[in-house]
Amino acid sequence: MSERCREALTTRQKLIAQDYKVSYSLAKACKSDLRKYHCSADSNMPRAREARLSYLLLCLESAVHRGRVVSGECQGEMMDYRRMLMEDFSLSPEIVLHCRSEIEGHCSGLHRKGRTLHCLMKVGRGDAAAIDPNCQRALQTLIQEADPGADYRIDRALNEACESVIQTACKHIRNGDPMILSCLMEHLYTEKMVEDCEHRLLELQYFIARDWKLDPVLYKKCQGDAARLCHLTAGTRPAK
């Protein structure tokens, strides 16, 4: 792909990140689901925030996690844009703003295919003093929006690093199933694991472990108990 074409695509992706309606196919595919789950019903929310791709994704992902039906066409569009957010850090203004020094100091030259985000995850997972709290929060928010725990294929860096392990240790699990991540974790310290996969997996799991809703298997099995025993709903998080 030529540099001019790449720049034009990146510009369009940034516009979509700020207002999902820039993508006609996404807006059309998800229109009825957005209305059904009241994803634009908050009159107190500024219009600019309501239009952001991240708000659409968080609202509809929450519906899916609660077992609600979101059309296949809409979920397909969401999948494309969740993958897009995981691949290019520059589409997240919060990452660009709050993680600038970490990117320059630790992740210079790693721009595409999710490498920058995984580099930042590595920094965040390591020495806590090495990453600004605002950058840490921006990373956590982005992972909530992209929701790679629900489908490992959204995380291209992880997908590529772990492909051989998935084909051997987890081949009995349907492609894209959330149980793939559980399978990879089960084989973390076995002979089937490869080093690059181990690193990418632990980088992602560090952030998933900080928000129980990002683990779809745990969420599905425990959401009722969480609401009953811990008074946690789909929109609340346990105190850290």
Dig out the tokens for 106 from the structure. Answer: 């630790």
Work out the pLDDT band at 238, boundaries 50, 70, 90: very low
Q: What's the whole-model pTM score?
A: 0.78
State the Rg of the chain over Cα.
Answer: 18
Q: pLDDT value at position 129?
A: 64
Work out the pLDDT band at 14, boundaries 50, 70, 90: confident
Q: pLDDT value at position 234?
A: 52
3 state SS of 180: helix
Check residue 88 and report its DSSP letter: -
Nearest-angstrom CA–CA distance, 159 and 237: 28
> Residues, the chain, total?
240
Nearest-angstrom CA–CA distance, 99 and 179: 31
Q: What is the pLDDT of residues 61-106, one digit of tens each?
A: 889 888 899 999 999 999 999 999 899 888 888 998 999 999 988 8
Burial class from Cβ neighbours inside 10 Å (0-12, 13-18, 19+) for residue 22 reads middle
Q: What is the pLDDT of residues 112-132, one digit of tens each?
A: 678 999 999 999 888 656 899
Check residue 44 and report its DSSP letter: T
